[in-house]
Structure 1
Amino acid sequence: MKSCLAPDPNPTRPVQALPVGAWDAHCHVFGPAARFPYAADRSYTPPDAPVETLCALHDHLGFSRGVIVQASCHGTDNRAMLDAIARSEGRYRGVAIVDGSESDAQLAAMDAGGVRGVRFNFVAHLGGAPDLEVFDRTVDRLAPLGWHVVLHLDAQDILTYVDRLARIPVPFIIDHMGRVKAEEGIEQSSFLALLDLMENPLAWVKVCGAERVSSGRRPFDDAIPFAERLIQAAPDRVLWGTDWPHPNISKDMPDDGGLVDLMFRFCTDPVLRQKLMIDNPLKLYGR
């Protein structure tokens, strides 16, 4: 089991101020392990990244709101995420990981606790695709809650699961630009399939994770053309987040202030930036 690097402890302050009300639509809390142990079957062990540190980062960067996404190292034990939301006094919402055994009452309790969606990992290094019957059954239960589903995919999965994606009956979000690889170019089949997918009015995409898309080192500018195309394709269904504290990054740990600066470089239009950073997350997480 590998250990993760800690995030950059001294992120820069963004060159431009974020708009008032901006959301970090993809971040995590880890532990503290002494209170919220990591899953026994996890594929990596992160350093603790508690909610106090996340709040301080958001204050430093200028974020008003955030979405805490459950990560695989905590498995289906969502307590750390739910505790962080409860302590945030309305600042945060959450996305849970579930195993399909949850009762309606348990899902309703998570909804009351600020959860607005569930996440499924398909990524090979995190264990690969979930049980697809559980996936289908769970997705079918989300509509009455007004929830959505978040999909963490490898790039080739966009092609592999194209039919399954087409029949998802609720809003669904593709994480990290589908984890396409910048070195394979803007015309690579996985990215073209992602652009086609964005014609589906239920499909959303996070134009973050530049450090995962990039073939180089920060500031990861080779990810810019992919983010620009996705924003152009679906300006009302794009989200952005830091991905703090950046689990499983080994080549170059991002500077979170630099990631905000990168967002300003690929989303230069203030009207589109208002959608990306405020209006769009409010649609999914505002209640």
Structure 2
Amino acid sequence: MSGSTNTPAELAGICDTHVHVLDPQRFPYADDRTYTPAAATITDLAAFTRRMGIERVVLVQPSIYGTDNAALLDGLAKLGPDVARGVAVIDCARSTDSELVRLHDAGVRGLRVNVAVHGDTGSALAAAVDRAAPFGFAVEIYAGTRFLLDNRGLIEGSSVPIILDHYAGVDPVAGPDAPGVSELTELLATGHVWLKMSAPYRLPHNPAPAAVEDLSRRLVEAAVDRLLWASDWPHTGRLPKDVPRTAASIDPFFDVDDAAVLAGIRRAAGSDENARRILVDNPAALFGF
């Protein structure tokens, strides 16, 4: 077996760059949400990070909270600046500059555009880049590969860092010639585009771990300095999108062996030095730890 053989706890400063806090008792979900997950509180997150040997996290605003970042801000305050940063969702047309200053002061370092849930023709992405620039925020995009390629010019010309969620939607089953892989590596080579190796269960065709690990290895070879790792804990949205939901029905979490997924990332890294870049150094540089 190649690559790092250390356990996660033996690498200090590991950062999980994509987790969610879900606390509907204290912070009710948005009325127009598309699914209803169970709770996953700060206490639950702390238990997860202890078990995994994770020392830092990035709280990402989930779609079920819309543009109300109260739960995220509460989590940042509880965890503190040594442990946590945030990626918020705003209404680009209505959020004030003073609101964005408050978000930055609270530890937010990025704005999220969730194309996978809300759709976009590129206008929301352009607006997010414009609002992010004066405050030093990155813009994080959850979208399929087609959207990213269609908006390649905007991403390449962005004045702020761009973060691509969940392997940028690439299909690992298609192998080295998967649509978008070569273009994706070119985007990463710009120096301001980052990619989260996260949530393989959200990729097309339910890829096997070996296929995901192969994709991870190719990305490491192409652009190790622009890669991040994330668990996507607590793994929301298990039911297929075409399954009817009601506001009262609880959408179960995916059953994920997070330790095995992280071990795959470390094997794909190919060396302890590369593993440290992906798990520690890259997120520290991007999110300002």
TM-score by length of 2: 0.87
Equivalences for residues 99-114 of structure 1 within 5 A: 99-100=91-92, 101-114=94-107
SS for the counterpart of 2:77 is helix
Q: Point out the structure with the larger helix share.
A: 2
Pick from 249, 256, 260: which aligns with 1:258?
A: 260
Determine if contact 2:169/2:203 at 8 Å carries over to the other structure.
yes
Q: Deviations over 1:104-132 (max 9, x none)?
A: 11100011111000010111xx13127x4
Pick from 194, 198, 209: which aligns with 2:199?
A: 209
Deviation of 1:93 after TM superposition, in Å, equals 0.7
Equivalences for residues 1-287 of structure 1 within 5 A: 16-18=7-9, 19-30=11-22, 32-90=23-81, 91-100=83-92, 101-123=94-116, 126-129=117-120, 132-213=122-203, 215-216=205-206, 220-250=209-239, 253-287=255-289
Letter in 1 for 2:236: P
Determine if contact 1:15/1:261 at 8 Å carries over to the other structure.
no
Pairs aligned (count): 269
Deviation of 1:134 after TM superposition, in Å, equals 4.5
Determine the structure 1 residue equivalent to 2:244: none
SS for the counterpart of 2:145 is coil
Q: Which runs of 5+ in 2 are unaligned?
A: 241-253
Q: Deviations over 1:159-190 (max 9, x none)?
A: 22222222211110111111112222221222
Deviation of 1:56 after TM superposition, in Å, equals 0.9
Q: Deviations over 1:185-204 (max 9, x none)?
A: 22122222212211211111
Q: Which runs of 5+ in 1 are unaligned?
A: 1-13
Letter in 2 for 1:201: G
Q: Cα distance 1:134–1:207, how it changes in 2: closer, same or farther (>3 A)?
A: closer
Letter in 2 for 1:102: S
Q: Deviations over 1:228-254 (max 9, x none)?
A: 121222221110011001112359621
Determine if contact 2:198/2:229 at 8 Å carries over to the other structure.
yes
| C-alpha separation in 2, matches of 1:217 and 1:228 | 15
Deviation of 1:214 after TM superposition, in Å, equals 6.7
Percent of paired sites with the same residue:
32
Determine if contact 1:207/1:230 at 8 Å carries over to the other structure.
no
Letter in 2 for 1:39: A
SS for the counterpart of 2:109 is strand
Determine if contact 1:214/1:222 at 8 Å carries over to the other structure.
no
| C-alpha separation in 1, matches of 2:12 and 2:256 | 24
| C-alpha separation in 2, matches of 1:207 and 1:173 | 11
| C-alpha separation in 1, matches of 2:6 and 2:235 | 21
Letter in 2 for 1:49: A
Deviation of 1:217 after TM superposition, in Å, equals 6.9
CA RMSD, 1 decimal: 2.0
| C-alpha separation in 1, matches of 2:127 and 2:151 | 16
Letter in 2 for 1:98: I
